[in-house]
Structure 1
């Protein structure tokens, strides 16, 4: 209390400004910034996650080891170590060198690895979902918590594809859309499960490296091939055991008696007629609408795709018919009656092994999550004083780009547009800032000679062992000091 007023004075909390991202938080003593990645400890900004190094022999999914003043690296040569950008921090905007420029010798050659946690607004997640079931039409909007976060894109062989995120969803819509989109991306990138709803389609639980769950049902396997391919693979298994086989598929439904594979085996005509658009002999398009029934169609009764049988083309009483899906999940056996109408009968023991063989040849259904981003802008200035030279070196293959130690695919053409499989990155490697944007670990590795030619920040290069022993601008043991950190 003051003597003059007799009232208690409020002491203003001293805050310091964090410059790790465009939000520029003012953080009080003992508090954490909006990103959960930086904090104020004793009047200094510290990093809340451990800097991460990979044993070179165990990279790409191998053991992840935090370091700072530890003795576990004693006896290891620098060839065994790969410094990732996980936990490195950022120097955004990168008018100054990246947080760490680590030198090491590999196979007698000096290399420099420049690491930084890059801030991406121009980024997305590409999701491959192994399923024969129809999730939604191409171009359909995908939502989470009611907000649009992406769209369905072109189907690929045995898989449905999604594109999630992107700058338009992160920053081009409402605040809620950007916040939800960023949350979805972050959780998927860190291998967490996310429930997505496709407009006029399915509800799908997606998690990297796990089987998709479609409308509450866990997928077990992806299809062995389209209906035509299945005929080609297994026609010889059915020859002499059944008179006709139809493999139901949303893309190409196959009919063995008409198919070239059947003709090679001398398969006789059966008088079968298929509804749909005939492509080449034994191959039919559009036999039904896409769906979550037989072979990715909307049908529950496979006989609905058949027209009247023709006696003059070989149909007869007692003719046997096997109908099966491309995963072997659905299968039924029929015999024609006197009116040439198929009547379902129990599956004969002689045909069960062929249906099981289809299932055995199907691969497990998984979700694949790929990080995709454009590594341009000022982050290149943290590597070199002449940013375009880094782009040129990457495109020419003289500089390797990794994401948390995971190899990336760099698209040809201008810029540094890259993709990486999150299953090859350490768990928890990605973060976010509330602009909103994704924070991704990025490493550029070049020979020392090449780095000098790029106009790199050679004065900031340090030996990897020195970094291991003494750290850098930010401290990394603050997860002990700040147990209230919200995200793990």
Structure 2
């Protein structure tokens, strides 16, 4: 568990704030244990004054192995995640399994799942108080369905661009530029990917607005776009293609973080080496300390460079070295080898999470890592692990809000279409692609540009992105929201105009 050194505690209160089980309180400007500690060590990680240290484990506490934290839960208490309790010496889940009961599918939701026509090529009926240019009906499985479409200029437009790469592209919050103009920013990383947000009304209405909407339109249309991140990488991005980072075509994304690789390949890796350090700029894995590796092998005595997170998991800094870390030479990943535990001749594997690069070392007589040739068995393992990696791709979600005046082309009572969308009575799609509507007010959505009709976007000099918007619902529901029922036309009448092309909606 933990012990508190009162002589070095300054009463800052951080330990009290981060303790997930409320076991610490600040009393008279000193931290004190006031509850049952489960040994998650959060307080130790966040104490800047080394006032908290590990202590002997409490007898009778139950070891939880359901994650790398490995809480030791006293009788009648819960672990740090609140999922498990120690009940009579048995680890017990605190919440019953939740099974949904409302799993039947509404027939109307099926017939309105896809638009009758898309808004690509539909134009607009400006100003917006006029009915939308196409309000088209069709009978589907005995139900009358209507789709209302318009190509609307939307200033509240963004592109969420996902870049599958293990390479560091730039710090969170850094500006993204095109031809020197700011068009977006780097946002939070995801599992094996980096995410940019381009556009947004602040940038669209700013001095570089035309550069912004042009960039979003070209990306959304599948064109290749060159971007530069402040203090970071030069990028060549095209939706559906490999990203190009600083001139390097990144073809494969990591199979998982370093910790995940320890678990995924534990049984295959354990017979081959005595230790493995799997480098990753998020979580680097140390095989014999990771819960998966520890079940198969004893600790090797090797300590990697990095900051300890939980057992077998280390945080490394971002960089352009191995696994997106600052490690340029794989031997740099090894901080130390404890020869009271290790032995000469032990094999240490250093690898990236993409398994493109690996290096093998043998522990020398003086405890130094000596590079040796990779064996045929380890190379076969490397090829297998690398084969588990997915293709790196650039993808983009159109991220926008359509709560403005374009609703007047749908209904004479604009709030009704907003409510119908949120209630599921009207299905929103963008260029034929289904949209996920965010909860809350307005009609804010995300739609995958790869599922849209080819080349769906244009832009206007307002500046704004011209977005193809479709609302599909039953004719009955359209009447209920005070839609422009008198302007409905059957699909056959629209086809008779002769101004159309057939297209396949993408799944």
How do 1:278-289 residues align onto structure 2 when only pairs under 5 Å count? 278-286=308-316, 289=317
TM-score (norm 2): 0.75
Is contact 2:115–2:470 with CA below 8 Å preserved after alignment? Answer: no
Q: 1:358 to 1:452 in 2, by over 3 A?
A: same
User: Which residue in 2 is equivalent to 1:147?
Assistant: 181
Is contact 1:135–1:291 with CA below 8 Å preserved after alignment? Answer: no
Indicate whether 1:308 and 2:336 are aligned. Answer: yes
1:290-324 alpha-carbon deviations (Å, 9 max, x no partner):
122211112211221322311112x2221111111
For residues 433 and 226 of structure 2, the distance between their equivalents in structure 1, rounded to whole angstroms, comes to 26
Secondary structure at 2:310 match in 1 = coil
For residues 260 and 419 of structure 1, the distance between their equivalents in structure 2, rounded to whole angstroms, comes to 38
In structure 1, runs of 5+ residues without a counterpart are 1-78, 478-488
**C-alpha deviation, 1:187, in angstroms:** 0.3
For residues 364 and 351 of structure 2, the distance between their equivalents in structure 1, rounded to whole angstroms, comes to 20
Number of positions where the alignment pairs a residue of Structure 1 with one of Structure 2: 390
For residues 254 and 92 of structure 1, the distance between their equivalents in structure 2, rounded to whole angstroms, comes to 59
Structure 1 residue corresponding to 2:326, chosen from 278, 286, 298: 298
User: Which residue in 2 is equivalent to 1:218?
Assistant: 249
Q: 1:152 to 1:170 in 2, by over 3 A?
A: same
User: Which residue in 1 is equivalent to 2:204?
Assistant: 170
Secondary structure at 1:136 match in 2 = coil
Indicate whether 1:132 and 2:166 are aligned. Answer: yes
Q: Which moved more, 1:253-262 or 1:381-390?
A: 253-262
1:104-150 alpha-carbon deviations (Å, 9 max, x no partner):
10111001110100111001000000011110000000000000000
For residues 424 and 115 of structure 2, the distance between their equivalents in structure 1, rounded to whole angstroms, comes to 22
Structure 2 residue corresponding to 1:383, chosen from 390, 410, 414: 410
1:325-353 alpha-carbon deviations (Å, 9 max, x no partner):
10001100111122211111111011112
Is contact 1:90–1:98 with CA below 8 Å preserved after alignment? Answer: yes
Structure 2 residue corresponding to 1:204, chosen from 235, 239, 245: 235
For residues 273 and 400 of structure 1, the distance between their equivalents in structure 2, rounded to whole angstroms, comes to 55
TM-score (norm 1): 0.78
Is contact 1:250–1:290 with CA below 8 Å preserved after alignment? Answer: yes
Indicate whether 1:193 and 2:224 are aligned. Answer: yes
**C-alpha deviation, 1:80, in angstroms:** 11
In structure 2, runs of 5+ residues without a counterpart are 1-112, 502-507
For residues 139 and 344 of structure 1, the distance between their equivalents in structure 2, rounded to whole angstroms, comes to 39
Is contact 1:394–1:400 with CA below 8 Å preserved after alignment? Answer: yes
For residues 262 and 115 of structure 2, the distance between their equivalents in structure 1, rounded to whole angstroms, comes to 51
User: Which residue in 2 is equivalent to 1:121?
Assistant: 155
Indicate whether 1:340 and 2:374 are aligned. Answer: no
User: Which residue in 2 is equivalent to 1:103?
Assistant: 137
Indicate whether 1:275 and 2:305 are aligned. Answer: yes
Q: 1:111 to 1:443 in 2, by over 3 A?
A: same
How do 1:237-248 residues align onto structure 2 when only pairs under 5 Å count? 237-248=268-279
1:9-38 alpha-carbon deviations (Å, 9 max, x no partner):
xxxxxxxxxxxxxxxxxxxxxxxxxxxxxx
**RMSD over aligned Cα atoms:** 1.7
Is contact 2:219–2:238 with CA below 8 Å preserved after alignment? Answer: yes
1:361-414 alpha-carbon deviations (Å, 9 max, x no partner):
111000011111101111011000000000000000000011111111111111
**C-alpha deviation, 1:476, in angstroms:** 7.8
For residues 336 and 433 of structure 2, the distance between their equivalents in structure 1, rounded to whole angstroms, comes to 57
Indicate whether 1:227 and 2:258 are aligned. Answer: yes
Is contact 1:431–1:439 with CA below 8 Å preserved after alignment? Answer: yes
Is contact 1:248–1:302 with CA below 8 Å preserved after alignment? Answer: no
User: Which residue in 2 is equivalent to 1:371?
Assistant: 398
